Chains A and B, each alone.
Chain A
């Protein structure tokens, strides 16, 4: 971690229009949560809450927020060349990357994981551990998503497209048809952790909790280490 890099990164993130998008997404979840708490009554409310938190929370909000945040903390800087300011300093590139990762995780927790927890509390309160379960799942999910999307941002200039393809096509579409693909899905891992905490399972997961935890940790560490290495070899192409 480097405080100066963290400060610059955070400033860049919060001052931009990007921040508005970051507020709109969790706001949508909260509005839906309030709607469910107002209009869905009785025993179906818990399952409705679980489906909303899984589909919209883990499946949409998490990857989108993580993608916007990681593109903001690193992707745009690589794209416009301003990253050269940081890279031309006597600071190891993995330290630069880990600092950016920490900021990305922190922002994603604020704009994705915490809203998931709040939405759960709004809908079902503390019942059956749904809110806390999905909150913990979301927390683990944003960590993994942040590391993976940061790596994508180092690897390609088309990180937004690549990230969306991964989140929407692989996790949602392919995962829907090919059961095996679900085992390699951050959303499934996060869901598995959520189910582990909850007393009732509303949306079953294909991955066992321990395996999910291991896979989340492995994916995060591998992506962060690889991204740090790739950043060492980042080449700035000439204008011509």
Chain B
């Protein structure tokens, strides 16, 4: 059982702050590090994996500072985002080399086990530069798993995988978490995090925007005020009826139709078709206006 402790850690490059005063504890189980591209996820992961020193603050694994401590890699397995691996090696050679570098007693067996875990046994004797992106990713994961690390850090692990590979990798990550390992992966895709992670850390513009249990954050996300654009055969009559209901906070009538702020997502989506039917108003378009991940994130920041 291992814990990653991040304590008031910041990292800046010149005038640019990449990670801003982040404090979090990552314990056993699967934690998703969610945030839009450029939010500072990679910077944070690099600090956790000893490839970047925090400008101020501390990053520790089980109380030991990560920076400048190569012995810590006995505990940590790292799967970097960048695709580069030694393409002239086969996946088996890479995994065996990894096992040898870790000083494992039976490197071939450890490599075989890791390759089986990522389902790469059949292709293990082909050169890595003949692999697809997803296979390369699995070869990197196998190399990171040979020593069965207590802490596994994965930077955007599902990128570039086809749906089947993605599903398998998700199961693998979940299994690692269920075994009591501390697994942290970064992603900019909400659904990935939702499917795999028990805990979630949301990072936006370098700051920790939300953290905790996924269901709690999901509820916050669903319960937030939603903005809809509605176009219909009679916008004004529809507006009058909608504002009369408590699920609607405000309605704006404009040239492009109605802009409705709904406080209660569930009730509002139930309400609209019924009101329209009763008024015999024809609905032409009902569109959520702000469903992008960024708007979900920016809402979370204010909570």
Contact = CB atoms under 8 A, between A and B. Distances in A.
Contacts of A199: none
Contacts of A88: 49-50, 73, 76-78, 80, 144
Contact of A4 (B18, B42, B76, B100): B100
Contact of B86 (A85, A233, A236, A239): A85
Interface string B93-131: 010011011110000000000000000000000000000
A93 to B, nearest CB: 7
Nearest to B101: A89
B38 A240 contact: yes
B52 A90 contact: no
A81 B102 contact: no
B20 interface: no
A17 to B, nearest CB: 12
Interface in B1-59: 13, 18, 37-38, 40, 42-43, 46, 49-53
A15 B18 CA distance: 39
B84 interface: yes
B278 interface: no
A156 interface: no
A238 B156 CA distance: 12
A232 B52 contact: no
Most buried by B among A7, A87, A89, A91: A89
B88 interface: yes
B219 interface: no
Contacts of A232: 68
Contact of A235 (B51, B78, B89, B100): B51
Nearest to B80: A84
B70 A82 contact: no
A110 to B, nearest CB: 20
B200 interface: no
Interface residues of A, number: 31
Contacts, number: 84
B85 interface: yes
Interface residues of B, number: 39
A5 interface: yes
A106 to B, nearest CB: 19
Contacts of A12: 86, 88
B52 A236 contact: yes
B82 interface: yes
A4 B18 CA distance: 36
B237 to A, nearest CB: 48
A89 B98 contact: yes
Contacts of A200: none
B143 interface: yes
Contacts of B77: 88
B86 A89 contact: no
A81 B46 contact: no
Contact of A84 (B51, B76, B101, B103): B51
Contacts of A238: 18, 40, 42-43, 46
A8 interface: yes
B192 interface: no
B127 to A, nearest CB: 10
B70 A92 contact: yes
B71 A90 contact: yes
A88 B155 CA distance: 14
B218 interface: no
B194 interface: no
Contacts of B94: 85
Most buried by A among B70, B72, B76: B70
A89 B51 contact: no
A66 B103 CA distance: 31
A237 B74 CA distance: 23
A126 to B, nearest CB: 41
B42 A233 contact: no
A237 B155 CA distance: 13
Given A4-B101, A89-B102, A92-B70, 6 more contacts: A8-B89, A11-B86, A85-B143, A88-B80, A232-B68, A233-B68
Closest 4 CB pairs of A and B: A238-B42, A81-B82, A80-B84, A240-B38
8 contacts: A12-B86, A81-B82, A85-B94, A89-B70, A89-B73, A89-B102, A234-B51, A238-B46
Interface of B: 13, 18, 37-38, 40, 42-43, 46, 49-53, 68, 70-74, 76-78, 80-82, 84-86, 88-89, 94, 97-98, 100-103, 143-144
Interface of A: 2, 4-5, 7-8, 11-12, 15-16, 80-82, 84-93, 232-240
